[in-house]
Structure 1
């Protein structure tokens, strides 16, 4: 006996969401598979919110910061990263979620989902052409930064526990690492 799984397309997934099939359950579409998202624990929610507020202040009107909102990717994926830093396109987002060309970088905060964030999600973001991907590991406080796309893969990985980092898109804005990973007072 063989098992066949059903692969969702973005279009079918959107129709199912509009029809209310998932009853507002927290799910995301990754490579055509429906993934039920784990509930956030308090540290995850706290650092996610604080970092989003900090980035809003630091980057101002140059970006739109989206917290746990979907982004639409060409590989039958519609993840909801913890933070997506996107172009401020206003009402364009009434028509569609941000596409890869609208996204400066994404950030995931990991407590229970580190292997998925460093594996499947990293691959999906790289294949979609997201220029930069940050993963905050809340268990072993560190920031992993993935950059420099080549052939659908990130070729550079930085692991930081102190200091500052600037995104590729905004080299003039330094982000302190220690508060981001939970090692000092938040911003």
Structure 2
């Protein structure tokens, strides 16, 4: 395990990696929802809204999916009453994003979000399993999640077989970031923290096999 400040370049020099896969114009959350409701975007299409940009999601390989499956099963066993685990489902962020994290731990149960997606105050942890999407997940989505006050963010770094845990969101706009990053490598246990309390742990070796 290694802990260090989660350093990021100054906002003026930090690019958004996802823009290479973004649409030609920005959309509001209302426009995005209307496109879904009218069938312009079909259920299951590989797009998500990031800071108003309609972004094509990266394809997923077997290392990504196997790590996600292993992690999701273990988190499900640890989720306490009053919380629910959602897999690859949207969350709505008021700064103009509606990402679909690989896992989101949210307040409520399977009935809470039948008519809407969870918002920032209802989200305890988000997780992105990252292979080819590592730069987008670590930098771009990390900044977006931090700006919206998501308290804990996990990046399951498949290439390096490390789980990066980001905490202490600070800043706003493109300058938003997490002040603390802790890396957990093979042999380590990652504490699973919800609402400031540790409710269990996940072995890194169990996630990557």
- Point out where structure 2 has 5 or more consecutive residues left out of the alignment: 1-22
Match of 1:160 among 153, 159, 184: 184
Indicate the residue corresponding to 1:145 in structure 2: 165
Relative contact order, CA 8 A, sep 6+: which one is greater?
A: 2
CA shift, 1:88, in A, is: 1.8
Query: In the aligned structure 1, how far is the partner of 2:113 from the partner of 2:199?
Result: 27
Does 2:53 correspond to 1:33? yes
Asked if residue 114 in structure 1 is aligned to residue 139 in structure 2, the reply is no
Unpaired runs of 5+ in structure 1? none
Q: How many residues align?
A: 179
- In the alignment, what sits opposite 1:84? 104
Deviating beyond 3 angstroms after TM superposition, the runs of 4 or more aligned structure 1 residues are none
Higher strand share: 2
Q: Match for 1:11 among 10, 16, 30? A: 30
- On the 8 A contact 2:193/2:200 being kept in 1, the answer is no
**Aligned match of 1:175:** 202
Any idea what SS the aligned residue of 1:144 has?
strand
Computed over aligned residues only, the root mean square deviation of the Cα atoms, in angstroms, reads 1.7
Give TM-score, length-normalised by structure 1: 0.89
Match of 2:144 in 1: 124
Tell me the distance in 2 between the aligned counterparts of 1:144 and 1:79.
19
The equivalent of 2:115 in structure 1 is 95
Q: Does 1:22 align with 2:49?
A: no
* SS of alignment partner, residue 101 of structure 1: helix
Residue 43 of structure 1 and its aligned partner are, at CA, apart by 1.5
The residue matched to 2:165 in structure 1 has which SS?
strand
